[in-house]
Structure 1
Amino acid sequence: MADPGPGSGATRWDPTVPAGSGRYRRRVTAPPHAPAHAPTRVLGGPQWRERAAAHRERVSRWTAPHRERRRRGEAHPVLDFLFTYYSLRPAQLERWDPGPGVALRDAAEFADRPGYVDGPGGVVLDPTTLPRLRTTAAFVAGLLTATASRPARLGCFGLHEWAMVYRTDAPRHDAVPLRLGSAGTDAVVESLPVSCTHYDAFRFFTDAARPRNALTPTRETQAALEQPGCLHATMDLYKWAYKLAPGCPSELLADCFELAADVRELDMRASPYDLAAHGYEPVRIEIPAGRAEYARLQAGFAERAAPLRSRLIALCETLTTR
């Protein structure tokens, strides 16, 4: 992609013409004084292609088996969640983005990607061309900052998964048996306090389980209730990372995805489901030793999540100020 030359300004695709619409997307010129896409780092073609390949290889640990399972028509009660509940497709997860402030030389393949413009140092992301991205970044920054301001609560013991099958004949994972059976599962829910703070877990509670929760999370109270000990709030760092695409560096996206995959394993090991056939040993939260194990692992994930949350907050600030 040719450098437009000094004083001419950067060129970009007109954002008023949607990609894939079949209409011609004319190139328009950004003012030469606009600082939004001024790079702070320049990567040559070999450099950024090496990073892109490393990213694809890293996430292929999950994307390749998922594609193979889909080809065979095989469901996985633990890992499918990463590609079904979370909406990023494998190909999108594998795609590499440098993040803001990085110019790419020899990068013609980025020319038609929304948000990328030609700048003096090469192709660079210009967040000002993506109003949705800036709005999303402002929301994510507020939510994650509020979450980080609270201490981790470690006493939920993963009962959200149990509350999703409480007194129902139609559990969400009906192909996987319950470890303690229906009556035993119900007894565990009735013997322990249920204190879920996460709306997107609470909304799957059965009608019978909802009144047993100490709180009534709603979408409107999400920022007021989310706290860093919650496994689902930790997994959702991955969601907020891809919601910031293409502004999120893919290395940060992969860090959040990898954490979400590890947390998902604990989430289901502590669930009422018998996953021995899939190679997962249970965390038996129905007994004191299991609850202690869960709290210990939960604290470890909260510690791992903290720097990722901070990096996402910093990224949001960059995306809203450029």
Structure 2
Amino acid sequence: MNPIGRVAVLGAGSWGTTMASIAATNAQATIWARDPDLAAEIHGLHKNSRYLGERPLAPGLRATSDLELAVAGADVVAFGIPSRSLRQVARDVAPFLRPDIPVVSLAKGLERETRLRPSQVLAQELPDHPIAVLSGPNLAREVLDGLAAAAVIATPDPDVARPLQDVFRTELFRVYRNQDVLGSELGGILKNIVAIATGMAEGLSVGDNTRAMVITRGLAEMTRLGVAMGADPHTFTGLTGMGDVIATCSSTLSRNRHVGLELGRGRGIDEIIADMNQVAEGVVTARPVVELAAEHDVDLPIATEVDAVVNEGRSAAEAYRGLRSSAPESEKHSVA
């Protein structure tokens, strides 16, 4: 694959904007925002105050609300689109893409109706394009502030991965390669549910020991489902597994942890979501993850309790009473 000269990023949320800003330091980059006012702010003032405050973006970053213009001549297109909207945007942009160029998913959720991962949705809608996933313990504001971080570009083809590494990295933002697309993508999806559970623990003031237990057992659940679906178990010890769990479960910048925290304090899920200006993918993903677990005959007690809270009206306190009643088995047996 040739070096990448032009990059398009679709979706001007916090993470899409951050990756577009990084790409603009290595290539000519354009970001697509659905809202013309947001596109104008990014293009003219080089900031995204709605999602990233006053943090400056790369001066070379361009922005537009015209989808065809955004991808014109692009050598790679990255999708920073929430899972619920990904298919429609992919379908809309398909006629405008150059043949055979790679497309990269930045999303960390499942399509609710089909339980498909973002890479699978993109493969269905853009079948003639190589698919890659960029994932890791990446809190957008910290990355944009220049704090050291790392991510993984996951794709079966190293020749596709290497140019993507070059265009999406800086001296302080490292991008590693991994051929396990399934495991890398599942880690980013499943950790959101663990973060909600961890936030609930904090909101309930059940103690640091309990939070540590939830994080650790949550990682075991992630690995268990991943292995059952065919992923490499070692992937879950890396950046897209353990790394993403640590960041999302511990940071005050985590949207999913925030949802769990507020649930633990007794607020209702609809009220919490109404007060947020970004998507917490764990809320949308909890039910399809539980359905996937049933399909693969995998026991996920933490995910099951989170699903009951966000979708069935169960209280956080009731969920934690349910987890305490689970009978422990062998620790190693319950991971793999």
Q: Which bin holds the TM-score, normalised by the shorter protein? A: under 0.3
TM-score (norm 1): 0.25
- Higher helix content, 1 or 2: 2
Structure (1 or 2) with the larger CA radius of gyration: 1
Greater RCO structure (CA 8 Å; 6+ sep): 1
- Higher strand content, 1 or 2: 2
